[in-house]
Chains A and B, each alone.
Chain A
Amino acid sequence: DIQMTQSPSTLSASVGDRVTITCRASQSINRWLAWYQQKPGKAPKLLIYKASNLESGVPLRFSGSGSGTEFTLTISSLQPDDFATYYCQQYNTYSRTFGQGTKVEIK
């Protein structure tokens, strides 16, 4: 199975900060990577698919990049609504592995 490793596990930041989360795959997944946001008590929400495509309705401050084995999610200017946990997920294979998550906390 493909392993997905996110870093950092926790990130403390302030409103207005630029935030970057990294996701590494144990083997090439081309660009078959998605990012999800999850808030406490809620189901995850799709933010980005195919590494860099913004899902409809997602604010433009979110962006994704990368290919192969290394990917990043960037929030250009952190807003109060963005404090949440973020997961990457590969869908290059039928076994859809997730990263372990990155919790974005208020500094």
Chain B
Amino acid sequence: EVQLVESGGGVVQPGGSLRLSCAASGFNFDVSTMHWVRQAPGKGLEWVSLISWDGDSTYYADSVRGRFTISRDNSKNSLYLQMNRLRAEDTALYYCVRSTASYYPFDYWGQGTLVTVSP
């Protein structure tokens, strides 16, 4: 059974940092492209970042580029998102998501971890 389990969310002050983790199981993580997608409360879905299977290629939404860093550890079947200089508008449920390869849709989603940026 495929599982993506996010952790690391919480409440942080504006300007602060947080590191999200995603533990993957039930599929070949080390050949999968992985993403972070977020959803602000009551709002739609926003793609945040992508990392290639080998970690060599990373891409970011304009809204987070320069503040967030995506990484992975294939030996631990884990995906990460380092979030710095957080803003109120970063408040959202963050999903860990898989696509088979870079130009494939999102076939597996975690249940999300909530990040709240508030004074």
Contacts of A36 in B (CB 8 A): 45, 106
Contacts of A99 in B (CB 8 A): 44
Interface residues of A in 25-67 (CB under 8 A from B): 32, 34, 36, 38, 43-46, 49-50, 55
Contacts of B105 in A (CB 8 A): 34, 46, 49-50, 89, 91
**Contacting pair A91 B103 (CB below 8 A):** yes
Q: Which of B45, B59, B107, B111 contacts A94 (CB 8 A)?
A: B59
**Contacting pair B44 A87 (CB below 8 A):** yes
**How many residues on the A side are at the interface (Cβ–Cβ under 8 A)?**
24
- Known A-B contacts A89-B105, A91-B103, A91-B105; the reply to A98 vs B44 at CB < 8 A is yes
- Known A-B contacts A1-B62, A44-B45; the reply to A96 vs B35 at CB < 8 A is yes
Interface residues of B in 69-119 (CB under 8 A from A): 95, 99, 102-107, 109-112
Chain A, 67-107, contact with B by CB distance < 8 Å: what is the 0/1 string?
Answer: 00000000000000000000101011011111111000000
**Contacting pair B47 A43 (CB below 8 A):** no
Contacts of B47 in A (CB 8 A): 89, 95-98
Q: Which residues of B contact A (CB under 8 A)?
A: 35, 44-47, 50, 59, 61-62, 95, 99, 102-107, 109-112
